[in-house]
Amino acid sequence: MIVNVEQRWQGGGARWVAPSGGVFEPSRYRVDEVGEREARAFVVTHHYSASYPAARYRVGLFEVSTGALVGVCVFSVPMSQGVLTRYADLGDAREGVELGRLVLLGDVAFNAESWFVSRALKQVREAKGVRFVLSYSDPVERRAASGEVVKPGHVGTIYKALNARFMGRSSSRVLLLSSSGVCVSPRALSKIRNGEVGARYAEGQLREAGAPPREAGEGGAEYVARVLGGGLFQRLAHPGNLAYGWALERGRKGEALFNLPALPYVRVGAP
């Protein structure tokens, strides 16, 4: 059981920091907007998924002394905007965003996550038109074929610390994992099947995960079927992510924004 530790990322690998290794010193850091190119490079380099969501707002954590970027929060468009209106009473799905990525480097000390996310949320609150932030916590760990844990599960402890509302689970599904433990996105597979914009990039990701090249004259749907039928990817039953939300409106107006009641927080170690 993992207790009283925080997750960090470095070069695609996860590690944990604990209070015994030192506590975060806010005076050494500042929070500011970060450009799309810099945010994308940081997230793709360090997050285990090596992927970057469709960002709307990007907030960076910088060291004051060096100016180095050591953390990024990406507030993004969900794969399906309907999930936003499922949880919040929005006139337009664009009034909501998802906390799509939270990446802090390994040398950022314990207790940085809640400090950073609270200030990132404040920046989003100040952006006109955004009323709701959704975030998911994935309680299911990922393992490579070797058995190495490449992404530990977590239950959203920092969201609880920031008074997010817990609203239950997303839909259950089956994940496709490469031999290195990286999840193959269903959306990426759909782009390849249908020849959509971004299909070439998605196919590149599939190749990096170990898939063979496409054969001459092979259509996208045929290629995906061949890859998935080749035994390269393991299937993992997933019960659904834990859903948390923040209303960026205060008082009764914020409380009225939620479509679903608050549920008791999930404890560390719970299934």
> CA 153 → CA 90, 98, 106, 139, 240, distances in Å?
30, 19, 17, 4, 12
Residue 120 CA to residue 122 CA, distance in Å, equals 5
Q: Is residue 266 part of a domain?
A: no
Shared-domain flag, residues 51 and 157: yes
Shared-domain flag, residues 245 and 226: no
Q: What is the pLDDT of residue 136?
A: 94
**pTM attached to this predicted model:** 0.82
Per-residue pLDDT tens digits for 151-187: 777 888 889 999 999 999 998 888 888 877 778 878 8
Q: What is the pLDDT of residue 3?
A: 47
Shared-domain flag, residues 60 and 193: no
Q: What is the pLDDT of residue 4?
A: 65
Percent of the chain with pLDDT over 70: 97
Residue 62 CA to residue 72 CA, distance in Å, equals 9
Q: In which order are the strands placed within the sheet that holds 165-169?
A: 29-33, 54-63, 69-77, 96-104, 132-137, 242-247, 165-169
Shared-domain flag, residues 113 and 154: yes
Phi, psi for 2 (deg, rounded to 5): -100, 120
Percent of the chain with pLDDT over 90: 53
Residue 228 CA to residue 214 CA, distance in Å, equals 13
The residue with greater pLDDT, 195 or 98, is 98
Residue 141 CA to residue 172 CA, distance in Å, equals 15
Q: What is the pLDDT of residue 73?
A: 97
Q: Highest mean pLDDT: which of 78-82, 141-145, 240-244? A: 240-244
CB 108 within 8 A of CB 81: no
Q: What is the pLDDT of residue 2?
A: 43
Asked whether residue 269 carries a pLDDT value surpassing 70, the answer given is no
Q: Is residue 145 part of a domain?
A: yes
Residue 69 CA to residue 56 CA, distance in Å, equals 19
Average pLDDT of the segment spanning 257-263: 93
Residue 132 CA to residue 94 CA, distance in Å, equals 9
Q: What is the pLDDT of residue 180?
A: 78
Provide the H-helix boundaries in the chain: 36-46, 82-87, 112-126, 157-161, 186-194, 199-208, 220-228, 251-255
Residue 37 CA to residue 35 CA, distance in Å, equals 6
Phi, psi for 114 (deg, rounded to 5): -65, -40
Q: Is residue 93 part of a domain?
A: yes
CB 206 within 8 A of CB 192: yes
Shared-domain flag, residues 23 and 141: yes
CATH (domain of 57): 3.40.630.30
pLDDT band at 1 (very low <50, low <70, confident <90, very high): very low
Q: What is the pLDDT of residue 166?
A: 96
Shared-domain flag, residues 83 and 189: no
Q: Is residue 223 part of a domain?
A: yes
Tokens representing residue 53 in the block: 């969501």
- Tokens 């690998």 belong to residue: 13
Shared-domain flag, residues 34 and 153: yes
Shared-domain flag, residues 67 and 195: no
Per-residue pLDDT tens digits for 27-41: 999 999 999 999 999
Shared-domain flag, residues 118 and 249: yes
CB 63 within 8 A of CB 25: no
Asked whether residue 106 carries a pLDDT value surpassing 60, the answer given is yes
Q: Is residue 161 part of a domain?
A: yes
Q: Is residue 269 part of a domain?
A: no
Question: What rounded mean pLDDT belongs to the chain?
Answer: 89
SS3 state at 254: helix
CB 169 within 8 A of CB 240: yes
CB 79 within 8 A of CB 187: yes
Shared-domain flag, residues 115 and 71: yes
Asked whether residue 268 carries a pLDDT value surpassing 70, the answer given is no
Average pLDDT of the segment spanning 25-54: 93
Task: Show the domain range for 72.
Answer: 12-173+239-255
Shared-domain flag, residues 155 and 209: no
Q: What is the pLDDT of residue 251?
A: 87
pLDDT band at 210 (very low <50, low <70, confident <90, very high): confident
Q: Tally the domains of the chain.
A: 2
Q: Is residue 7 part of a domain?
A: no
**Nearest residue to 35 via CA among 59, 11, 1, 52:** 59
Q: Is residue 64 part of a domain?
A: yes
Shared-domain flag, residues 150 and 197: no
Q: What is the pLDDT of residue 173?
A: 85
Average pLDDT of the segment spanning 224-230: 89
Give, as one character, the DSSP assignment of residue 94: G
